[in-house]
């Protein structure tokens, strides 16, 4: 049952990568910025849940209902990450709207380092055991492979959030503003769209999705460290590029492809899994830089 084992694990990891990749692709689609601090937002979300679950108030709530305590802790992490995303845009990126792209890229790397160092100063550099949010329950078996609640919940919640995000972007007034800003900021501004507000909302949504992804990732690996978001953040970036950065469906597709590829490669050659994932990025950039679902663009020189 090797195939079934890899399929289930691939869907789980693909869901997590897709959630994180959505943040990359949304921000790039709006402001043409690769926000390399995005993976560290995921790390902040994991630490926020760790902190919330350790408070006396949440311990008291857990004594009555562990599920309620977990949900409240996740909501706290989502609110914190959304707020952090909005502040990050307003304070760090907004002043650089008209600056060369390299300036914003360097700023993103600086924010990433600042978040990692801040986490080290507050929580230390060692691994901390991540609290159990999703109970360890086996739902059913496929052959000899047990399928647990965390795997099913990861896939279900991720798919629901992706569908909800797509509906939000396609049908709501804010979503239409986001598409307008992505298409042409100048024209959107002339039509009365508040560009800065729309960009901040985009950052907030992306960071909120990263917070949700942090729950499932940290629960899977059972620990949290200041560098927790570095590798999954980079792999989610690869997923966004593979699917077509700037495309929401592309980010989802890329996330699942990377998750499946990683899981299958890990079974046969675990020592090469990271190299193979980044090798996929190189191949995409060589043969299809716009990604699977990305639109080809022509630039005048």
pLDDT in single tens digits along all 301 residues of the chain: 456 667 888 888 899 999 999 989 998 888 888 888 999 999 999 999 999 998 888 889 888 888 899 899 999 999 999 999 999 999 999 998 888 888 888 999 999 999 999 999 999 988 999 988 888 887 777 777 778 888 888 889 999 999 999 899 989 999 999 999 988 888 888 888 899 999 999 999 999 999 999 999 999 888 999 999 899 999 999 999 998 888 888 899 999 999 988 888 887 777 788 888 888 888 888 888 888 887 665 554 4
pLDDT of residue 2: 54
pLDDT of residue 301: 45
Q: What's the gap between Cα 131 and its chain centre?
A: 20
pLDDT of residue 298: 55
In contact, 292 and 242? CB cutoff 8 Å: yes
**Owner of token pair 């299809």:** 288
In contact, 46 and 224? CB cutoff 8 Å: yes
Instruction: Provide the token pair at 252.
Output: 């989802």
Distance, in Å, from the CA atom of 220 to the CA atom of 111, rounded to the nearest integer, reads 26
H/E stretch holding 169: helix 149-171
Does residue 143 come out as left (phi exceeding 0), alpha (psi in the -120 to 50 range) or beta? Answer: left
């Amino acid at each position: 049952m090797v195939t079934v084992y890899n399929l289930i694990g691939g869907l789980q990891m693909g869901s997590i990568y897709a959630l994180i990749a959505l943040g990359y692709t949304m921000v790039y689609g709006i402001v043409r910025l690769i926000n390399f601090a995005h993976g560290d937002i995921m790390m902040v979300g994991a630490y926020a849940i760790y902190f919330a679950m350790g408070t006396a108030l949440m311990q008291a709530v857990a004594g009555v209902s562990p599920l309620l305590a977990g949900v409240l802790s996740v909501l706290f992490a989502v609110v914190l990450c959304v707020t952090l995303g909005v502040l990050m845009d307003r304070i760090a990126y907004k002043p650089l709207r008209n600056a060369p792209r390299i300036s914003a890229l360097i700023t993103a790397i600086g924010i990433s380092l600042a978040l990692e160092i801040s986490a080290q100063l507050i929580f230390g550099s060692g691994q901390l055991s991540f609290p159990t949010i999703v109970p360890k329950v086996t739902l059913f078996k496929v052959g000899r492979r047990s399928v647990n609640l965390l795997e099913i919940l990861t896939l279900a919640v991720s798919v629901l959030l992706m569908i909800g995000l797509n509906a939000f972007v396609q049908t709501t007034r804010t979503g239409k503003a986001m598409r307008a800003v992505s298409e042409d900021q100048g024209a959107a501004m002339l039509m009365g769209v508040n560009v800065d507000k729309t960009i901040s909302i985009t950052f907030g949504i992306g960071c909120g999705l990263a917070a949700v992804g942090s729950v499932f990732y940290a629960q899977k690996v059972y620990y949290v460290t200041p560098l927790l978001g570095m590798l999954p953040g980079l792999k989610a970036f690869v997923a966004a590029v593979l699917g077509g950065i700037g495309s929401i469906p592309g980010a989802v597709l890329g996330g699942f492809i990377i998750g499946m590829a990683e899981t299958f490669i890990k079974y046969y050659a675990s020592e090469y899994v990271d190299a193979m994932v980044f090798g996929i990025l190189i191949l995409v950039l060589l043969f299809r830089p716009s990604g699977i679902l990305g639109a080809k663009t022509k630039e005048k020189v």
